[in-house]
Amino acid sequence: MTTSMPATPFADPAPAQRLERAAAALAAHGFTVEVLDDAAAARVRIKELIPEGVSVFTGASETLRLSGIDEDINSSGRYESVKARSTTMDRATQLAEIWRMIACPDVIVGSVAAVTETGSLVAASASGSQLAGYSGAAARAIWIVGAQKVVPDLGTALRRVEDHCLPLENERAMKAYGQPGALNRLLILNAEPHPGRGTVLLLREAIGF
């Protein structure tokens, strides 16, 4: 006879030891990692990390929205907002140019669905708009990651995406767009081969999905 395992509490922030293990593993894989107390600290740190005037694309992220980082980047006038510029362009005639802008900004800022204690980042997307920049097309990438997204391994990370993130995204998308979300594309970053390119701001608090 078999018994089912209890559901993993994917909404609970990981304790300090697990955060430190994830941070050490990410650093060993070439990512720059900073462990910060909360989203407010990340909001301040982002302003220090990104020079004024550079082009920045923000991936769709509840973490960025809830923290105020999305608004700071796209509405402050401090940066060249790729998202703001793309909304003024004609998608019927300029779609290829829009995708090039999105893929290759000076800096891409976003979050991920999971980070493993073995040093991998897992990002999920319906459109894939942020994934090219995350994987290497953007000159720099910065991810803000809540403590609840830290999981032991890749298998657990994929379960977190499907069992936790997707239902929440479905609910959000239905309210925002009248249609469910979709897990169309999945990106796993196991290492950053270019030192200094990828920065993970790992928070001690839970935020986002």
- DSSP-derived pairing of the beta strands 80-81 and 114-116: unpaired
Q: Is this structure's pTM higher than 0.85?
A: yes
Inside any domain, residue 43? yes
CA of 164: how far to CAs of 21, 169, 192, in Å?
A: 23, 9, 26
Inside any domain, residue 178? yes
Residues 6+ apart with CB under 8 A from 69: 39, 42, 43, 46, 58, 63, 109, 144
The DSSP symbol for 58 reads E
Contact between residue 124 and residue 185 where contact means Cβ atoms under 8 Å apart: yes
> Per residue in 127-182, pLDDT tens?
999 999 999 999 999 999 999 999 999 999 999 999 999 999 999 888 888 888 89
Domain residues for the domain of 50 are 16-203
The DSSP symbol for 202 reads E
Inside any domain, residue 37? yes
Inside any domain, residue 198? yes
Inside any domain, residue 209? no
Inside any domain, residue 3? no
Task: Count the domains in the chain.
Answer: 1
User: What share of the chain in percent tops pLDDT 70?
Assistant: 96
Inside any domain, residue 2? no
Q: Could you tell me the CATH number of the domain that includes residue 58?
A: 3.40.50.10420
Contact between residue 69 and residue 144 where contact means Cβ atoms under 8 Å apart: yes
Distance CA 96, CA 194 (A): 27
Task: Average the pLDDT over 26-45 and give the result.
Answer: 98
Inside any domain, residue 39? yes
The DSSP symbol for 136 reads I
Instruction: Say yes or no to pLDDT of 3 above 60.
Output: no
